[in-house]
Structures are given as C-alpha cells and as structure tokens.
C-alpha cells in the first residue's frame, strides 16, 4: 500500500508519458476500487520494506472475551459506588502515512492527534490498532477496514475517505483482514463477516497540489492549461496521473514524465529534470519534513477534486458516531483542527461540502 516519499530511491526511472491501451478513446468512470485507492487511505506512505513489524494478534475467542469484558466494564461503571474509569476508545490508524499517521517512534501524525482530542472530549483513554492496507489494485481497502471493525479490532477507523463508493454496502458478505499490529499468519487467511460502514463528520480534506522545483522559478498558475510545454512529473497509476493525462483530452500529455512510486518524483524535481509535479499535499509535507533543505516549493494551486476524510464505524455503533460528531464539532469550533495540523507538519485543508463525495466521472478529469 503506502509508499514513503523519503524512502530509498534506488535507480531513478523516469519516462515520457503515454496513454495505456486502456485509456484510448472514452474512459469509463472510476470504479469502486479505483476511488478507494486514490481517495485517501495513504496510498503513498512507506514502502513495505520501511514498515515496522506489526507483531502478533489474539484469536477470535479472545475478541469475544474482549467485547464481553468491555460490556461488563460499562455495566459496572453504572453501578452505585463503581469506579469512574471509562473503557478505552480503540482507533485503527494506518501505520505509515506521515504526516497523517505513523506508528514508528511511538506514534505521530494529524489523524492520531485528532483521535486523541476526540477521546479526551469523550472522557475515554485512547488505544491504538495500527494496520496496513495493500497496494494491489485488485484489493479493496474498504473491505479491509470493514473487516477490522467487524472483527472487534477497533471502534473507529481514522483518516477514511468519505465517498459514496467507499461507504457503499460491501459487495460480498465476508472479507479478509489487512496486516495489523499483533497479527498472526492465520489472521491473513481468516474470513470476517462484514457490516455496514457509517461515517462521522469529516475533519480534513485530501487535496492534490502543484509542487515546483528550481527549474520552474516562482511559477504560480490558476489552471493546469498554463503548464503546457513544461516538464511535469507524476507518479504512475495514481489519481494525479489520471488527471494530467486526461486533462483537456491530452493537452499536457507530451510533456508528462512518469516516475515510479517513492522518492523519484521529488528527486527529479530537485535535479531540474522536471519543473513541476502534481501530487498529494501530504506527500510533499512528508518530503519537506524529511528533507528540510529541499529547494522544492508548494505552489498555491490545488486541483478542485478532493476527498473529505473522517472516522468510520459500524452501523451498530450509532451512539458512538453521534458522540464523536459532537466532539469533532467542538474541536472545529474551537479552531483546534488547524492547530493540530500545524503541530503535525500537515498543510491543513478543511472539509468541503458535500460531506460525502459523489463518484468521480471521467469528464471531471478533463477540466479544472
């Protein structure tokens, strides 16, 4: 899944863009898995070799015992004279998507900071379950997240893309778990009966930004058409790739240069091999944090297509979702979200209406 922007670069492999055979002529709407892989969920965090060992997990019987224990704890708290201790709020977060969430170093990132703030407002201690989704285009991050919740691994999953497709009922009744902290080999072979995902209010927006290198000077644009004739970097098989190659029926195609996932996109910009790149804003934030002396610059341009992100839970947890919504509303009203983003090194973008994004149509990629 995620590929880290400051990972090992290896040999730089850049090549001029060319429309694959599947892109000739009309291109179908982005489907379920296409939007899941592009709409958040850290499609470009750490490569598999950079990820921390996620350890071993409990079996299904332990899950049942854990749920029963939580219920008994809640009932005990209601009894006269009972201790006021509240059960932990367990949140699943991706393990390697800086500066959104990162397990290494004891845990960091904006999504983690928001989870902590929500738990504090609910009067509950926070527990974390780190996980990693797959990069395989045939995999379904939505089913994997659903499986984590249905298996009792967590109460909420943070940083989830809030789109109609990602929140649609699962196409199959069962799904497999992703890699998670504490997982045993047999957990990857186990099937979990899935539920229905319900979202909280969004708390951030994932955007695509223009990043410029020394070769571009102080370039600023209002439309992508102004980039015609400039060498443009983009990572292959990404949402940004789909936009640049489809824009105005191929207006920019002759100067689009594809890079493999990882550091190559930013390294080419720094060397002047490309002038600008379209990339997720948080990717540049991560690069800048790892390379404080980088000559790269985040331009003002943001592509109009973006994705709101929030927490998701199972429909059986409706009271919790309502409580989290209230906590997020208070956090937003207090101006806490931009402050937490600044502390995490994230260029913050507030959610935009509608709260749940509609499916992306091919025609939307041709304009800005």
Res 28 pLDDT > 80: no
Share the mean pLDDT of the chain: 84
pLDDT at position 29: 42
**pLDDT > 90 fraction of the chain, expressed in percent and rounded:** 74
User: Torsions phi, psi of 82, nearest 5?
Assistant: -70, 155
pLDDT at position 84: 57
pLDDT at position 121: 98
How many C-beta atoms lie closer than 10 Å to residue 308's C-beta? 26
Res 273 pLDDT > 80: yes
Residue 48 CB contacts under 8 Å (≥ 6 apart), including other chains: none
pTM: 0.81
Res 301 pLDDT > 90: yes
**pLDDT > 70 fraction of the chain, expressed in percent and rounded:** 76
62 class by beta-carbon count within 10 Å (0-12 exposed, 13-18 middle, 19+ buried): exposed
pLDDT at position 5: 34
- What is the distance between the terminal CA atoms of the chain, rounded to a whole angstrom? 28
Domains defined along the chain, listed by start? 30-48+84-206+306-368 (3.40.190.10), 208-302 (3.40.190.10)
Tens of pLDDT, residue by residue over 84-134, are: 589 999 999 999 999 999 999 999 999 999 999 999 999 999 999 999 987
pLDDT at position 51: 44
Res 161 pLDDT > 90: yes
318-333 vs 336-344: helix crossing angle, rounded to 10: 90
Tens of pLDDT, residue by residue over 124-159, are: 999 999 999 876 666 789 999 999 999 999 999 999
SS3 content of the chain, % helix, strand, coil (to 5): 35, 20, 45
Using DSSP, state whether 10 is helix, strand or coil.
coil
pLDDT at position 295: 98
Residue 298 CB contacts under 8 Å (≥ 6 apart), including other chains: 209, 210, 211, 281, 284, 288, 347
pLDDT at position 85: 82
Q: Which of 7-21, 40-54, 55-69, 238-252 has the highest mean pLDDT?
A: 238-252
pLDDT at position 139: 77
Res 276 pLDDT > 70: yes
Tens of pLDDT, residue by residue over 336-358, are: 999 999 999 999 999 999 999 99
Res 252 pLDDT > 60: yes
Res 70 pLDDT > 70: no
pLDDT at position 134: 77
Contact between 146 and 175 under an 8 Å Cβ cutoff? The reply is: yes
Pairing of strands 276-280, 232-235: parallel
Q: For 26-52, what is the mean pLDDT?
A: 44
Q: Tell me which residue has tokens 């509608």.
A: 354
351 class by beta-carbon count within 10 Å (0-12 exposed, 13-18 middle, 19+ buried): buried
Helix residue ranges per DSSP H, the chain:
32-38, 60-78, 110-122, 141-150, 239-246, 264-271, 281-290, 318-333, 336-344, 362-365
Tokens representing 108?
A: 């960091």
- pLDDT band of 30, cuts 50, 70, 90: low
Nearest alpha carbon to residue 191 among 12, 60, 349, 347: 60
Q: Tell me which residue has tokens 């806490």.
A: 336
Q: In this predicted structure, which of 4-18, 156-170, 348-362 has the lowest mean pLDDT?
A: 4-18
């Amino acid at each position: 899944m995620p590929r880290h922007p400051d990972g090992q670069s290896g040999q730089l492999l850049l090549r001029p863009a060319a429309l694959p055979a599947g892109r000739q002529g009309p291109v179908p709407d982005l489907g379920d898995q296409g939007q899941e892989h592009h709409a958040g969920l850290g499609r470009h965090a750490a490569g598999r070799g950079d990820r921390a060992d996620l350890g071993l997990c409990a079996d299904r019987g332990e899950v049942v015992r854990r749920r029963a224990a939580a219920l008994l704890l809640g009932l005990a708290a209601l009894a006269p004279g009972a201790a006021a201790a509240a059960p932990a709020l367990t949140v699943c977060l991706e393990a390697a998507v800086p500066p959104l969430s990162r397990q290494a170093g004891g845990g960091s990132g904006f999504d983690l900071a928001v989870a902590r703030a929500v738990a504090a407002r609910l009067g509950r201690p926070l527990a974390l379950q780190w996980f990693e989704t797959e990069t395989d285009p045939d995999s379904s991050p939505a089913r994997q997240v659903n499986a984590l919740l249905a298996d009792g691994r967590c109460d909420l999953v943070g940083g989830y893309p809030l789109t109609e497709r990602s929140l649609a009922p699962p196409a199959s009744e069962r799904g497999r778990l992703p890699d998670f902290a504490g997982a045993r080999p047999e957990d990857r072979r186990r099937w979990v009966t899935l539920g229905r995902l319900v979202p909280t209010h969004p708390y951030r927006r994932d955007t695509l930004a223009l990043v410029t290198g020394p070769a571009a000077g102080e370039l600023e644009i209002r439309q992508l058409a102004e980039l015609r004739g400039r060498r443009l970097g983009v990572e292959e098989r990404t949402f940004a790739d789909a936009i640049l190659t489809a824009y105005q029926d191929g207006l920019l195609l002759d100067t689009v240069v594809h890079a493999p996932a990882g550091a190559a996109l930013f390294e080419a910009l720094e060397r002047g091999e490309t002038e600008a790149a379209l990339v997720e804003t948080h990717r540049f934030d991560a690069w800048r944090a790892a390379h404080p002396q980088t000559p790269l610059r985040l331009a003002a341009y943001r592509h109009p297509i973006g994705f709101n992100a929030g927490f998701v839970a199972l429909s059986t947890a409706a009271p919790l979702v309502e409580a989290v919504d209230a906590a997020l509303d208070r956090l937003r009203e207090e101006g806490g979200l931009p402050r937490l983003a600044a502390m995490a090194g994230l260029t913050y973008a507030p959610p935009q209406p509608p709260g749940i994004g509609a499916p992306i149509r091919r025609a939307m990629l041709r304009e800005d």
